[in-house]
Amino acid sequence: MPKKIIKRLMPDHKDIKDNKYLKVFGNLLHNPHLWHMNRHSVAKAFAIGLFFAFIPVPFQMILAAGTAIIVHGNLPLSIALVWITNPLTIPAIFYSCYVVGTWIVGEPAQAFAFEASWQWVVDSLSTIGPSFLLGCGVLASIFGVIGYFGIQALWRYSVIKAWKQRKNRH
């Protein structure tokens, strides 16, 4: 069942509450709905985490946490999924965003060398920026929707499968 797997992989809620960057949310972090593991909260968390993983800003975790608080998604999972974009995966993910953006705009892709620095992003905004940012928005939306509905379907499938197994045992 997805719930058991996700619970095992999730960070401890005490660690998240004590995170210095998330202290900005104060008592909002004590809302028990943010820590529940049910189909709806996990699906929201996947949508939030996957969406913000594709947004090229240095404070993705805070944006994901704020959105999870607003929509009552699972907070630890929302934050953890943002880390899909990490120093190892950022070049491939952001290049994919750029390619998707150029495809949508109808421009030929320009040759460039990716650097994992904020300065490179700022310098590149005038040349590859529009296509890159468009691709980021499109892929963030697509993966957010796929994450939400994928978890909803997987959760329902696992519950139906468990019901059938229980029924067959009797």
What confidence tens digit (pLDDT) does each residue in 92-142 have? 998 899 999 999 998 887 777 767 677 876 777 778 888 989 999 999 999
For position 13, what pLDDT does the model report?
Answer: 64
Assess whether pLDDT exceeds 90 at residue 152. Answer: yes
Assess whether pLDDT exceeds 70 at residue 17. Answer: no
For position 118, what pLDDT does the model report?
Answer: 74
For position 58, what pLDDT does the model report?
Answer: 83
Helix H segments across the chain?
2-9, 13-17, 39-53, 60-71, 75-82, 90-105, 118-124, 129-169
For position 10, what pLDDT does the model report?
Answer: 65
Of 86, 16, 20, residue with least CA distance to 45: 16
Q: Which two tokens stand for residue 124?
A: 């590149």
Q: Show Cβ contacts of residue 56 under 8 Å, excluding neighbours closer than 6 positions.
A: 94, 97, 121, 132, 133, 136
pTM of the model: 0.79
Query: In this structure, how many other beta carbons lie within 10 angstroms of the beta carbon of residue 40?
Result: 16
For position 145, what pLDDT does the model report?
Answer: 97
Percent of the chain past pLDDT 90, that is, above it, reads 45
Question: In degrees, to the nearest 5, what angle opens at C-alpha 142 toward C-alphas 136 and 148?
Answer: 130
Q: Show Cβ contacts of residue 136 under 8 Å, excluding neighbours closer than 6 positions.
A: 54, 55, 56, 94, 97, 101
Assess whether pLDDT exceeds 60 at residue 26. Answer: yes
For position 137, what pLDDT does the model report?
Answer: 96
